[in-house]
């Protein structure tokens, strides 16, 4: 009984693929290409899912376009270019490194460097503000001894 529950839990926890059987191409090689391309294309509604993983209507439309283009004989790069021409580089889960996507690729590095610079300046300033304590003078020592006697 425990094994059956464990197996059911494993089956339920596996990721669901949104590709419906009626969308699939009859040729297994073409379907495999469509799946590979689908994993590289972003669902524009979900934004962080591929079109193969998304249940959104737009993702379904994009999956159909991919399969239609493959069935017509387009190469993988031609299918991607077709979608990029219509939706921009954002449709690609791994956008190319070019002038338009420079901020996307280098932005996190710039933010990390800026944070390091701010942190370094903060700690330098903290270090400079703390001056070493001067030793007590004889008068201060006597006064401290009196205060401590009075406390006792």
Would you say residue 122 has pLDDT above 80?
yes
Report the C-alpha gap between 38 and 25 in whole angstroms.
13
Q: Dig out the tokens for 106 from the structure.
A: 């280098």
Residues pairing with 92 in the sheet: 41
Would you say residue 11 has pLDDT above 70?
no
Residue 126 is inside which H or E element, if any?
A: helix 102-129
Band of the pLDDT at 16, cuts 50, 70, 90?
Answer: very low
What's the average model confidence in pLDDT over 24-34? 83
State the average pLDDT for the chain.
Answer: 83
pLDDT of residue 22: 62
Backbone angles phi, psi at 41, to 5 degrees: -105, 135
**What does the domain layout of the chain look like in residue ranges?**
2-96, 98-129
How much is the pTM?
0.57
Burial (CB count within 10 angstroms: exposed 0-12, middle 13-18, buried 19+), residue 40: middle
What's the average model confidence in pLDDT over 81-98? 89
Sign of CA pseudo-dihedral 43, 49, 54, 56: negative
Backbone angles phi, psi at 42, to 5 degrees: -85, 140
What is the CATH T-level fold of the domain 2-96, as seen in this structure?
Helicase, Ruva Protein; domain 3 (1.10.8)
18-22, 94-98, 113-117, 142-146: least confidently modelled range: 18-22
Would you say residue 13 has pLDDT above 50?
no
């Amino acid at each position: 009984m425990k094994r059956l529950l464990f197996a059911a839990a494993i089956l339920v926890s596996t990721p669901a693929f949104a590709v419906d059987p009626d969308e699939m191409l009859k040729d297994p090689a073409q379907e495999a290409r469509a799946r590979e391309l689908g994993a590289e294309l972003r669902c524009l509604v979900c934004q962080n899912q591929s079109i193969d993983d998304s249940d959104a209507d737009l993702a379904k439309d994009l999956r159909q376009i991919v399969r239609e283009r493959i069935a017509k004989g387009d190469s993988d790069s031609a299918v991607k270019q077709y979608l990029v021409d219509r939706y921009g580089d954002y449709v690609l889960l791994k956008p190319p490194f070019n002038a338009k996507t420079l901020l996307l690729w280098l932005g996190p590095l710039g933010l990390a460097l800026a944070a390091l610079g701010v942190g370094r300046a903060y700690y330098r300033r903290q270090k400079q503000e703390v001056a070493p304590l001067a030793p007590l003078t004889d008068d201060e020592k006597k006064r401290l001894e009196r205060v401590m006697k009075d406390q006792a």
